[in-house]
């Protein structure tokens, strides 16, 4: 399965890994839209998995 790595900013110049979020098998292409605080991830059709665009809100 695909994953999104979440990183946390600890100070202005440093970041640390926080967690991982599962996406879907074959999901590789993503688009971050900062104005919408959203990450869009393209999920391909594979077997019974339908093609779709998944939206992940950024907090």
Contact 22, 1 (CB under 8 A): yes
**Mean pLDDT computed over 46-59:** 94
Burial 34-44 (b: 16+ CB within 10 A, else e): eeeeebebbbe
SS3 19: strand
Each residue's pLDDT tens digit, 18-40: 999 999 999 989 999 999 999 99
How much of the chain exceeds pLDDT 70, in percent? 100
Q: What confidence score (pLDDT) does residue 59 get?
A: 85
- What are the start-end ranges of the E strands in the chain? 3-11, 14-22, 30-33, 38-43, 52-57
């Amino acid at each position: 399965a695909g994953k999104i790595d979440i990183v946390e900013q600890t100070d202005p110049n440093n970041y640390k890994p926080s967690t991982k979020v599962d996406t879907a098998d074959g999901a590789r292409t993503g688009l971050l839209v900062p104005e919408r605080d959203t990450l869009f991830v393209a999920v391909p059709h594979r077997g019974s998995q339908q093609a779709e665009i998944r939206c992940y809100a950024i907090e």
